[in-house]
Amino acid sequence: MQLKISDYLKPEAIIMEMKAKEKIAAINELVAHMVKNKLVDDGKEFINALAKRENLESTGIGDGIAIPHARTNAVRALVLAFARSPDGIDFSSIDGKPSHIIFLIASPENMKSEYILALAKLSRLLRKRAVRELLRNAKDPDEIMEIIKKNEE
């Protein structure tokens, strides 16, 4: 299965500068943005699924990155969102540092393999310091999309 992150992240699912200052507010802001852009059917259900997932273990993976994610029937298809926080948000990352780049993954319950593949591909992409720097400095959603397209395998 050849899954590409750029096929599941749409420019309308990108927030260039988050207003939220803490984790739950950040998740709520991202989900509200996705509901507004008709990428998520049931915002409440999705937030509950994300909160349940965050309570299991933090999705702050270090290097200024967080990838909150959940499988839920609040979405009909695999969907990704991206947000940037200038000040950083405490996602209880492994390295103790705030997250400036946040990718959110939503997947219906029945798309487990695509969900796991998306998480793996995103993690691999974000291990590259150059990609993280480019994402932090991008000017607009089109540039974010371009960086991802150029750097994903």
- The residues annotated as belonging to the active site are 69
Cα gap 41→54, rounded to integer Å: 21
Residues 41 and 74: beta-carbon distance below 8 Å: yes
Helix/strand/coil for 10? strand
Residues 65 and 99: beta-carbon distance below 8 Å: yes
Report DSSP state, residue 122: H
